Amino acid sequence: MKLQRKNRLRALSLGAIAVSGALALTACGSDDTGSGSTGGNGNATASSGSIKCDDAKGNLLAAGSSAQKNAIDAWVTKFQAACKDVKINYNPNGSGAGITNFVQGQTAFAGSDSALKPEEITESAKVCKDSQAIDLPMVGGPIAIGYNVPGVDNLVLDASTLAKIFDDKIKTWDDKAIKALNPDAKLPNTKISAFHRSDESGTTDNFTKYLMAASPADWKYEGGKAWQAKGGQSASGSSGLAQQVKQTAGAISYFELSYASEGISTVDIKTDAPAPVKATTENASKAIAAAKVVGKGKDLALELDYKPTAEGAYPITLVTYEIVCEKGNKAETLPATKAFLTYIASEEGQGLLSDAGYAPIPTEIATKVRETIASLS
């Protein structure tokens, strides 16, 4: 909770700035409402720690994943303090919207909680001259299952039970399936209010990938960024879901751990490991460390294991990618793009993630990310 309080205060201290399509400055664009920070005039060649500004200057627009918003806020604050000739505006409008912004040439890079699909890579050739977009894994973390059941401070669920809850098959908190997993809990007969994203979201994609992989018999939907199951209620963005859980007795939803602010309890997930697993950054890191790079060439898309057997590996984990052109980036924004991405992939940048409720990318993968960013053109 201490980390969550720090994160909440940080998020509240930063202003919200929407990305404007009219300010399309770059070639290459992913989850909530706009946020950004403003830099003033200064020496663009200054550096602070591992932040090297080089020739970075001007406005840098990006959009996408709301999962990484709090990480982006922290990074932008540090980066703009060092590189005063750069102004970064990040709009956390959702992974789907961010990718659309990107392929329309409105943003320098996109944040997406899902790797690009083949058709999106093909479409990216429109903005990446003689090239294509690539996935750079940058932020990891657990998708917490937040709940609001008065009198229940500890709750264990498994993939099958979660699938039935979000498919409107389990309707009250005293259902026998929930009781079986929580024999000592005083479960009320309160109606379950399951909230899902109303906008296209990589968080939805990753959550439903978990349900599909871990309980295929109970989750018959195809998955993807758009919610497909019937029933339930919806809200926009991870922050919207968290707010609904906080204010609605009987509610349950899914969002990144950094959004599980004070007053929101999170579910422990039963896996094939001996003990249920808590949603923590450390446990998410254990899951990400076992991921495989499946992207081709310089694309670093990862394949996660949603059915871990290792003790302490949290199964509902996502990786947020920064999506950028491998080649063909606009000359006026390339220096700032490379400088910012280089910083956030650095040891110093990744070092901020744990305090913000995220999991750093494993060293072996982060090294490949840094090498790829250096080669962007």
Number of domains in the chain: 2
Report the alpha-carbon angle 314-318-321, nearest 5. 150
| % the chain with pLDDT above 70 | 87
What is the phi-psi region of residue 198: left when phi exceeds 0, alpha when psi lies from -120 to 50, beta otherwise? alpha
Say how far apart CA 66 and CA 94 lie, in whole Å: 6
Residue found by looking up tokens 């290792």 in the block:
310
Residues 31 and 152 in one domain: no
Asked if residue 16 has pLDDT above 80, the reply is: no
pLDDT of residue 8: 39
Is residue 116 within 8 A of residue 348, CB to CB? The reply is: no
Residues 237 and 337 in one domain: no
- At 48, is the pLDDT very low, low, confident or very high (cuts 50, 70, 90)? low
Asked if residue 348 has pLDDT above 50, the reply is: yes
Please tell me what DSSP assigns to residue 142.
E
The tens digit of pLDDT for each residue in 73-97 reads 999 999 999 999 999 999 999 999 9
Residues 14 and 117 in one domain: yes
pLDDT of residue 289: 87
pLDDT of residue 22: 33
- Interval 236-244 mean pLDDT: 94
* Lowest-pLDDT choice from 30-44, 99-113, 269-283: 30-44
Which is it for strands 58-64 and 86-91: parallel, antiparallel or unpaired?
Answer: parallel
Say how far apart CA 229 and CA 235 lie, in whole Å: 15
Residues 277 and 298 in one domain: no
Asked if residue 41 has pLDDT above 60, the reply is: no
CATH number at residue 272: 3.40.190.10
pLDDT of residue 67: 87
Comparing 7 with 73, the larger pLDDT belongs to 73
* Lowest-pLDDT choice from 140-144, 314-318, 354-358: 354-358
Structural domain includes residue 133: yes
The residue from 286, 311, 340 where one domain ends is 286
Nearest residue to 123 via CA among 113, 114, 132, 115:
132
Residues 247 and 261 in one domain: yes
Count of helices and strands (H, E) across the chain: 12, 16
pLDDT of residue 309: 86
* Lowest-pLDDT choice from 52-61, 81-90, 261-270: 261-270
| % the chain with pLDDT above 90 | 74
Structural domain includes residue 116: yes
Q: In 3-state terms, what secondary structure has residue 150?
A: coil
CA atoms within 13 A on the CB side of 154: 9
Structural domain includes residue 119: yes
Residue 255 belongs to domain spanning: 143-286
- Interval 174-186 mean pLDDT: 98
Is residue 35 within 8 A of residue 90, CB to CB? The reply is: yes
Structural domain includes residue 223: yes
Structural domain includes residue 117: yes
Structural domain includes residue 310: no
The tens digit of pLDDT for each residue in 207-223 reads 999 999 999 999 999 99
* Mean pLDDT for all residues in the chain: 87
pLDDT of residue 249: 97
Residues 152 and 281 in one domain: yes
Residues 125 and 165 in one domain: no
pLDDT of residue 49: 66
pLDDT of residue 313: 92
Is residue 314 within 8 A of residue 269, CB to CB? The reply is: yes
pLDDT of residue 320: 95
The tens digit of pLDDT for each residue in 362-374 reads 899 999 999 999 9
Is residue 69 within 8 A of residue 353, CB to CB? The reply is: no
Say how far apart CA 328 and CA 242 lie, in whole Å: 39
Please report which residue ranges of 299-375 form alpha helices under DSSP H.
334-345, 347-351, 363-374
Say how far apart CA 113 and CA 96 lie, in whole Å: 9
Say how far apart CA 18 and CA 252 lie, in whole Å: 29
Say how far apart CA 128 and CA 76 lie, in whole Å: 25
Residues 56 and 80 in one domain: yes
Residues 237 and 117 in one domain: no
Q: What is the rounded (10 degree) CA torsion for 133, 136, 142, 143?
A: -10
Asked if residue 361 has pLDDT above 70, the reply is: yes
Please tell me what DSSP assigns to residue 360.
P
Residues 241 and 160 in one domain: yes
222 CB-near residues (< 8 Å, 6+ apart) = 228
CA distance to 71, 141, 316, per residue, from 320 (Å): 11, 9, 13
Is residue 334 within 8 A of residue 170, CB to CB? The reply is: no
Asked if residue 47 has pLDDT above 50, the reply is: no
Structural domain includes residue 308: no
Task: Centre a 10 Å sphere on the Cβ of residue 1 and count the other Cβ atoms it contains.
Answer: 10
Q: In 3-state terms, what secondary structure has residue 298?
A: coil
* Lowest-pLDDT choice from 218-222, 255-259, 313-317, 364-368: 255-259
324 CB-near residues (< 8 Å, 6+ apart) = 28, 108, 109, 110, 133, 134, 136, 337, 341, 376
Structural domain includes residue 312: no
- At 66, is the pLDDT very low, low, confident or very high (cuts 50, 70, 90)? confident
Residue found by looking up tokens 């944040």 in the block:
111
Residues 256 and 346 in one domain: no
Residues 90 and 176 in one domain: no
Asked if residue 25 has pLDDT above 90, the reply is: no
